[in-house]
Amino acid sequence: MLTKETETDLLVLNYPLTPKSNVDDVMRYIDLAISSHLNTYETITLMGDSAGGNISLGYSQSVYNKEKKVKNIIALSPFVDFSLENEEITVVAKRDTIVSPIALKDVGEWYKGTHLITDPIVSPINGDYKDLNVLMISGTRDITNPDTKLLAEKNPSINYIQVENMPHIFMLYMIPESEKANQLIIDMINTDW
């Protein structure tokens, strides 16, 4: 549907995973994919959900993107802070029992490699998005929601959409709320950003 409604090509990246790979491996992989398409496409939009949202936002903050190869980011229920300092994350995790914050801390230790956990390529909540076009969508029953709200507050240039009582990556479900979210994505891609 996305390619038909936007008349764009879609490339799905099968990025390397922890614990065998870390953030540097992932960023190199993403950059290689983007660089190999720069001469083919006028605009590249990087989109991801959950961990892919983290990677999309993190790439935008990486040394690979210092010349703004990618200015357009769509992050769906992104996980944005591996430090897990926000106590609201634990409250949501206990309420919805989706993911253990302890397990996420382990993943963060593997993923960060030689970087600090607070480095924006690892924890995009610490990034600066003022020169980028970012659409970020989250549901209020999503474990990542407390941090996506903070990221949006720190970066008012982000087009942040929050949908009440929706779970993690709700926009991928066959429900009315996902139709609205998907239309926002389509409209964003179809505009001139």
Question: Is residue 184 assigned to a domain?
Answer: yes
Q: Above 80 in pLDDT, residue 9?
A: yes
pLDDT for the residue 80: 97
Question: Is residue 34 assigned to a domain?
Answer: yes
Closest CA to 46 of 74, 78, 66: 74
Alpha helices per DSSP H over 47-156: 51-60, 87-96, 101-112, 145-154
* Number of domains, the chain: 1
Encode 36-72: b = buried (16+ Cβ within 10 Å), e = exposed. eeeeeeeebbbbbbbbbbbbbbbbbbbebbeeebbbb
pLDDT for the residue 7: 82
Question: Is residue 193 assigned to a domain?
Answer: no
Find the domain containing 85 and state its range: 2-188
What mean pLDDT value characterizes the chain? 90
Q: pLDDT by residue (tens digit) across 48-83? A: 999 999 999 999 999 999 989 999 999 999 999 999
pLDDT for the residue 112: 97
**Residue 148 burial (CB count, 10 A):** 26
**Helices (runs of H) and strands (runs of E) counted in the chain:** 7, 4
pLDDT for the residue 110: 93
The answer to whether the CB of 139 falls within 8 A of the CB of 162 is: yes
CATH of the domain at 44: 3.40.50.1820
Question: Is residue 174 assigned to a domain?
Answer: yes
Q: pLDDT by residue (tens digit) across 79-100? A: 999 998 888 876 665 565 555 5
Q: 168 in the Ramachandran plot: left (φ > 0), alpha (ψ -120 to 50) or beta?
A: beta
Q: How far apart are the first and last CA of the chain?
A: 20
Joined together, the tokens standing for residue 11 give 């490339």
